[in-house]
Amino acid sequence: GAGVSQSPSNKVTEKGKDVELRCDPISGHTALYWYRQSLGQGLEFLIYFQGNSAPDKSGLPSDRFSAERTGGSVSTLTIQRTQQEDSAVYLCASSRQDAVYFGEGSWLTVV
Amino acid sequence: KQEVTQIPAALSVPEGENLVLNCSFTDSAIYNLQWFRQDPGKGLTSLLLIQSSQREQTSGRLNASLDKSSGRSTLYIAASQPGDSATYLCAVPSNAGNNRKLIWGLGTSLAVNP
């Protein structure tokens, strides 16, 4: 597609359940980022993929969070045993050189 | 450590006004600076990217300037319209290591009143 595509756009889940969020970056973009934005807060870096290099996972808040990127394209962010503080919008972005392009986000609510 | 600050945090203006949003950063060794727009309940839309070697970029009614030495960028919006109402964010890539993650300001929430 023309832009970064994320799914689901909205997810309501019960505390303790696992969730998977998907990101389909712009074709040809080698860099892929996940960010999180909680209500009223700034954007928080989670994880960075660049080509075939090992991902930078330094922003993941706990070991309940993990992400993978298959075939250098689609990425999945997994949150295990969700907690209420995980409620946020999860934004995926991709870039080829300098400009960074974002998806519409996945809005996660943990009840 | 790079820090990005945006002033003002919120701005309300009548339609038709020209306005300036400010962004400052503490480490002048940046690769580029990017301005984004975020509408309520939406993702981020890239507005303008200024490379470190550039002084300004223009797109329609938007003009972004960059002064690396003083650690500042401004986003100028001419003849504002109600449709410009959104949160405007500036960001610079981290220059620590190979991860070009973006360092963000908290944004300026703009309301343009008809």
DSSP characters for A63-86?
TTEEEEEGGGS-EEEEE-S--GGG
Asked if B89 has any chain A CB less than 8 Å from its own CB, the reply is yes
Q: Are B98 and A91 within 8 A, CB to CB?
A: no
Question: How many residues would you count in chain A?
Answer: 111
Evaluate if residue B110 carries a pLDDT over 80.
yes
* Omega of the bond leading into B8 within 30 degrees of 0 (cis): yes
Kindly report, residue by residue over A39-83, the tens digit of the pLDDT: 878 889 999 999 888 899 999 999 999 999 988 799 999 999 999
Kindly report, residue by residue over B31-79, the tens digit of the pLDDT: 999 999 999 888 899 999 999 999 999 999 999 999 999 999 999 999 9
Dig out the tokens for A52 from the structure: 């075939």
CB B50 within 8 A of CB B64: yes
Burial of residue A41, with CB atoms counted within 10 A of its CB: 0-12 exposed, 13-18 middle, 19 or more buried? exposed
| Phi (first) and psi of residue B7, to 5 degrees | -135, 135
d(C-alpha A3, C-alpha A55), whole Å: 22
Closest chain B C-alpha to A8 CA, distance in angstroms: 13
